[in-house]
Amino acid sequence: MYRKSCEYYEYERFRDDQREPSCFWLQNNAFLPHFHSAIELMAVHRGEMQVTVDGQTESILPGQLAVIPSFSIHTFRTPAYSESTVLIVPLGYLGPYEKRFGSYTFSRFLLTDEKAAACIAGLLTQLLDMGGQEESLFKRGLVYQIIGLLAQKIPLKKIEMGASHERLKDILDYLQGNFTSPVTLAGVAQRFGYSQSRFSHLFNEAFGCSLPQYVNMLRLKFAVDRMQEEGCPALEAALGAGYENSRSFYRAFRQVYGTAPSEYLKNRR
């Protein structure tokens, strides 16, 4: 699937349930900590983005690219404004190279080589311009060129996931599956064998936000999706997302989006 978009958090649904690459344009890209098996590439055209991969943060400027290896925990933020193109490549799409990229990862996630970055940006533009055309040998060739250039410019290293990395993935999986239920710092910390203070410190250090902030964003995204895609009333969406009442939902929504749900949805019709 090749498409253009400017919605926050828009491409979450394409992470691991797709068989073909997705290429799309985003404005003010931002995304909560997450991981997936697909390789993800981001080229910044205007503004600045902050990308955190497995606890390491880099600022991505125009003319630079970030490549997110398989199963790396990563977060995207836009400090003020950004325009970027994103390419998500499922490992299965790489054919004979799937096993290699399933066992090896890029040794760094920032590509600063201006010539290589410009070449890849041109290839991404071709993918965008092809729109929703069906899979073809030419499209596969473009994707292979991009991955090949990255592997040429950024050395690969064998994937070594320690116990702490696996535990962080388990925490994200748990929150993704339970955010609509009551979630407390004490309860999650106890579940994973930490004191509240230790868990809070580890969570903030790994993901750049607090547990309540993360759960709040999961709930807001869930509620917005229901209102946008299903026409669900705000109160019903809020309660279904895990908010106790409309007041807490409206307060959280305004803090994050700067407006009321009705105005937010009106501006996106």
Q: What is the pLDDT of residue 1?
A: 39
| Mean pLDDT across 265-269 | 74
- Per the prediction, the chain carries an average pLDDT of 85
Q: What is the pLDDT of residues 11-46, one digit of tens each?
A: 343 455 577 888 999 998 888 788 788 899 999 999
Q: How far apart are CA 137 and CA 134, in angstroms?
A: 10
pLDDT of residue 164 exceeding 80, the answer is no
d(CA 164, CA 85): 31
Longest dimension (CA), the chain: 54
Q: Which residues pair with 68 in a beta bridge?
A: 40
* pLDDT at residue number 14: 43
| Alpha helices, DSSP H, located in the chain | 98-103, 114-129, 137-153, 163-178, 185-191, 196-207, 211-230, 234-241, 246-257, 261-266
pLDDT in tens, 92-146: 898 888 888 877 888 889 998 889 999 999 999 999 988 767 778 899 999 999 9
Which pLDDT score is estimated for 29?
86
In angstroms, what CA-CA distances link 178 with 142, 174, 187, 242?
A: 39, 6, 12, 9
Q: Are 30 and 78 in contact (CB under 8 A)?
A: yes
pLDDT (tens digit per residue) in 187-237: 999 999 999 999 999 888 877 788 998 899 899 989 998 998 888 999 999
Residue pair 175/167 in contact by the 8 Å Cβ criterion? no
Residue 29, both tokens: 């890209």
Angle, helices 234-241/246-257, rounded to nearest 10 degrees? 90
Per-residue pLDDT at 17: 59
pLDDT tens digits, one per residue of 47-68: 999 998 888 889 999 999 999 9
The label of the residue with tokens 């970030």 reads: 66
Phi, psi of 37 (to 5 degrees): -80, -25
Domains of the chain: 12-158 (2.60.120.280), 163-266 (1.10.10.60)
Quick check: pTM over 0.95?
no
